[in-house]
A and B are shown apart, each in its own frame.
Chain A
Amino acid sequence: MSPTSSSEDLKGDTARRKPGRSGSRSPLIRFLARRVLTALLLAVGITLVTFVLTNLVPGDPVSANLGQRALGDPAIVAQWRAEHGLDKPLPQQYLMHLQGVVQGDLGTSQQSHRPVMDDLAESVPATLELAGAAILISLVAGVAFGVVAALRRDRLTDHLLRVLSLIGISVPTFWLALMAFYVFFYRLQVTPGSGRIDPTMSPPPQVTGLYTIDSALAGQWDVFASAVGHLVTPALVLALYTIGLLTRFTRSAVLEVLGQDYVRAARAKGLPGRVILFRYVLRSALVPIITVAGLAFGSLLSGTVLVEAIFAWPGVGQYAYKSATTLDLPAVMGVGLVVGGVYLVINLIVDVLYGVIDPRVRLQ
């Protein structure tokens, strides 16, 4: 489901709206209800696809989880299969999983022997913190760079920013992560080492699972400083690609709007450049920027595997990788569901934001 088609849905709903109707029948609520229903169906689809694909992979989870000696003992192998429900037919396994999902139980991980929900409750906040910081940096830097590049079109600043954004898009993230860690941590010694906080510190009491927020809430400012310090380099590394992307998109969107008649009219009226930029240009240009940012956030969440590995960041990327390589079906399906869910939620937010940012969408 693309954000574009969804926005068309929203426009359609809005167009059919009859003035004076009560809030309960508002097109926005109808739109949201329909999207939530679609999301639920998609979630079921995600579990089915993940289940089928994981079972199609050649290889036996038993081989990945038991030692060589244990593999030679049929009693141990049978016990392990029974323990993880693998002794049942595939359709039954899938239905049992689906039943668990409905009840909020994603099953037990074969690698950690813990409920997948508990594992995800630890790893998802770590990735959210990393990806959230990265998208924040990307939005601030990418939009600012894009606007500056558009305003300084074909000047030196524009050329420099173009080169920078191309570098951001082209350089492989794993290489950049290794280089950043080497240069800033090892050579220059200006950033802390791997992990989320200094190993000598204890994590803050869990509220959100985001160490920066939890430590601030607990007033543990030394832990807060450590958490922010550990976050900076991986977040910057992760952000660089999105900065490049947003710079390019913002530049072209701003340039397109700058050429519109209403901008010329505003200028002719003698409005200050600041007002024109923020009230007329940037607001109109934000629609494609938000689309890209939304999708980028989703891909940041699901694409942090290598950065997490290099910075020993205990996020969902590392969890997903380990689960996939050990054919840990409940964990793989749990991660699939979470990542798919994140995409669905982001798409929904993006669609709603269209209406907030662009009054034309609401009025159509």
Chain B
Amino acid sequence: MAIRSRRPGAKAALLPVLLTGTLALAACSSGGSSTTSQNGGTTTAAKTLVIDTSFDLKTADPGRTYEPTGLIIGKAAYETLLTFEGSDVTKPVPALAESFELSADGKVLTLKLRQDATFADGSPVTADDVVFSLNRVRDMKGTPSFLLDGVEVAASGADTITLTSKNANPALPYILPNPALGILNSKLAKEHGATADTGDKAEQYLNSASAGSGPYTIESFNVSSQVVLKANAKYWGATKPVYDKVVLRNVEAATQKLNISRGDSQVALNLSGDQVTGITGDLQIKKTPAANVIFLLANQDPSVSKITSNPKFAEAVRKGVDYAGLLELAGEGSVQTPGIIPSMFLGSLPQDQAAKRDVEGAKAALKESGVADPTVKLEYPSELTVNGLSFQPLAERIQANLKEVGITVELAPAPITTALDNYRNGKEELGLWYWGPDYPDPSDYLAFLPGKLVGLRAGWKAGADKELEAAGAKAATTIGDEARKQAYVDVQTRLNAAGTFIPLIQPSQNIVTAKSVTGLEFHPVWTIDVADLK
């Protein structure tokens, strides 16, 4: 039954016209955006830089910052006493300090403060600012406070700072470049509630405006969508900021790829190996092994697992894993990790000491273990990705590898908040995790020894391997680069022999930039320094 009127149909026909009109408006808008972006390579882009990244961000307060995106922002807005040049993390160099010296016993670090550095408001950076800022980080009990645990900070005169530790602390020069230890304009911060104790109230202010001496200042800050930095017009350093404005956007990896391919952004930070493979056109791809080490953990506590605490079982696992296959999954730019210390740090093991797959050797070790047809549970965070690499395919590949050896692996993925509980409590039989560096010094990895933070998560109590623990204690207090290198090589060789941790790979950090962007260096701690980008 039809009503004889064509008008409704005619009105409905207006709809496509309306939609087309709206799309046309979108296209006009797109044109504007596109022009800006395309100019991104030439004229306009000299003013604005758009960086797409998957936000891992909680705060812009340097004393509380510990997430990758926060460290990028902290590095741009604040300056530290020492820093690293480019991507070389083996040698700290002066920044706000003009020189530094570690005492022969490694307990006192003396720094001379530059006298020409100024904050964004034009006031000078003083020794008092340094003492306040570092004490604030230590005593506020925020996430990064452990960096200065037990370190006394004092100023003598207007330009000398001393950092005193109870025990030898040769890692301190490597810790000080962390953007969490950025120096605040203490007068300004105190006016907004900053105190050097747990009662500090300055975070809200520091999330809306920065109080540092870096080349950029914070214009706007939204923890889940976008952070805008603007050039510090009064920047004291020799290299002035190139961009008027830097926009960091929270964008999923798949969208990052399309944005940068189209010219809507100039930097994409989180593309996986697979995603960069198909990228063509006028884009630059920098593939660098990240400092994140993915490893397997075999619990040493017999009450948790009688199987994984058997040293021969751990040997079978170590020999049974197909490392080349894991690298294939991780993509070009990834490397196998011979020891737990990543390849770019002092004390890392040479590639020729990396474990190799030996199926027959693994079967023999399993036979020697006396465990017949073992079944173990492998726990890992299901939704976590490291440098774009998901744990799921890695776990599946390990499961398949060990099946060939005769070990049945039951996969037990869990959301990270759930998985972390078992991991922290040392209840995982077999675990697949990663460790990102807190600071680029090998001493950070002493946490893997018996009785230490990660060692305990593997059910490895203090006294479980006295020789290894003694080697670790020696490494912690050894002074001098060459001696330290040898000490940490020794620690890792012993650690590998023990078999509690099986280092697997360092995935590749893939950074894609527009051709117009130069000066990019990947950094293991702060990923990129915005001020490097030209």
Partner-B contacts on A (CB < 8 A): 57-61, 63-73, 75-76, 79, 111-114, 119, 122-123, 137, 140-141, 144-145, 147-148, 151-153, 178, 181-182, 185-186, 189-195, 198-200, 222, 225-226, 228-230, 232-233, 236, 258-259, 267, 272-274, 276-277, 281, 309-312, 314, 318-319, 322, 325-327
Contacts and interface: CB of A to CB of B under 8 A. Distances in A.
A68 B453 contact: yes
Nearest to A66: B143
Nearest to B2: A151
B25 A318 contact: no
Which of B415, B417, B424 has its CB near the most chain A CB atoms (within 10 A)?
B417
A68 B29 contact: no
A307 to B, nearest CB: 11
B167 interface: no
Contacts of A153: 1-2
A13 B262 CA distance: 59
A199 B249 contact: yes
Contact of A199 (B50, B141, B146, B262): B50
Contact of B258 (A63, A185, A277, A281): A185
Contacts of A68: 435, 453-454
A199 B224 contact: no
A252 to B, nearest CB: 14
Given A76-B145, A182-B258, A190 B27 contact: yes
B8 A198 contact: no
B15 A318 contact: no
Interface string B360-372: 0000000000000
B158 interface: no
A114 B59 CA distance: 10
B210 interface: no
A259 B4 CA distance: 15
B38 to A, nearest CB: 11
B249 A195 contact: yes
Contacts of A141: 15, 19
Interface string B13-37: 0010011001101111110111010
27 contacts: A57-B418, A79-B198, A113-B58, A113-B64, A140-B18, A144-B15, A145-B12, A151-B3, A178-B254, A186-B258, A190-B23, A200-B36, A200-B247, A229-B25, A229-B27, A229-B28, A230-B29, A232-B22, A232-B25, A258-B3, A314-B225, A314-B250, A318-B225, A322-B224, A325-B383, A325-B415, A325-B417
A329 B2 CA distance: 56
A194 B265 CA distance: 10
Given A191-B27, A192-B34, A226-B29, 7 more contacts: A70-B145, A148-B12, A198-B36, A199-B48, A200-B247, A314-B250, A325-B417
B324 interface: no
Which of A185, A191, A229 has its CB near the most chain B CB atoms (within 10 A)?
A229
B479 interface: no
A194 B29 contact: no
Contacts of A58: 418, 421
A316 to B, nearest CB: 10
Grouping DSSP codes into helix (H, G, I), strand (E, B) and loop, the A interface class, with mixed when no group exceeds half, is helix
B207 interface: yes
Given A72-B453, A112-B58, A318-B224, A310 B252 contact: yes
Contact of B29 (A64, A123, A192): A192
A314 B424 CA distance: 33
B32 A222 contact: yes
A122 B224 CA distance: 10
A310 B173 CA distance: 42
B7 interface: yes
Nearest to A259: B1
A324 to B, nearest CB: 9
Given A66-B143, A75-B141, A198-B33, A274 B12 contact: no
Nearest to A75: B141
A94 to B, nearest CB: 20
Contacts of A200: 33, 36, 44, 48, 50, 245, 247
Contacts of B454: 68
A9 B242 CA distance: 66
Nearest to B11: A144
A274 B58 contact: no
Given A192-B26, A199-B249, A151 B415 contact: no
Contacts of B258: 181-182, 185-186, 193
Contact of B417 (A59, A148, A258, A274): A59
Contact of A193 (B7, B145, B226, B259): B259
Nearest to B28: A225
Interface string B146-166: 100100000000000000000
A162 B493 CA distance: 68
Given A69-B146, A189-B262, A198-B36, A232 B23 contact: yes
Contacts of A186: 258, 261-262
B420 interface: yes
Interface string B232-251: 00000000000001010111
Interface string B56-90: 00110000101000000000000000000000000
A179 B3 CA distance: 39
Contact of B30 (A192, A312, A326): A192
B12 A147 contact: yes
Interface in B241-287: 245, 247, 249-252, 254-255, 258-259, 261-262, 264-265
Given A68-B453, A114-B204, A258-B1, A310 B418 contact: no
B358 interface: no
A61 to B, nearest CB: 7
Nearest to A71: B424
Contacts of A151: 2-3, 8-9
B222 interface: yes
A281 B438 CA distance: 69
Given A228-B26, A310-B254, A112 B223 contact: yes
B5 interface: yes
A63 B222 contact: no
B17 to A, nearest CB: 12
Nearest to B247: A199
A226 B32 CA distance: 8
Contacts of B8: 144, 147-148, 151, 274, 277
B50 A312 contact: no
B29 A229 contact: yes
Contacts of A194: 249, 251, 255, 259, 264
Given A148-B8, A190-B23, A314-B224, A225 B29 contact: yes
Contacts of B58: 65, 111-113
Contacts of A230: 26, 29
A272 B8 CA distance: 12
Contacts of A258: 1, 3
Interface in B348-389: 383
Contacts of A326: 417
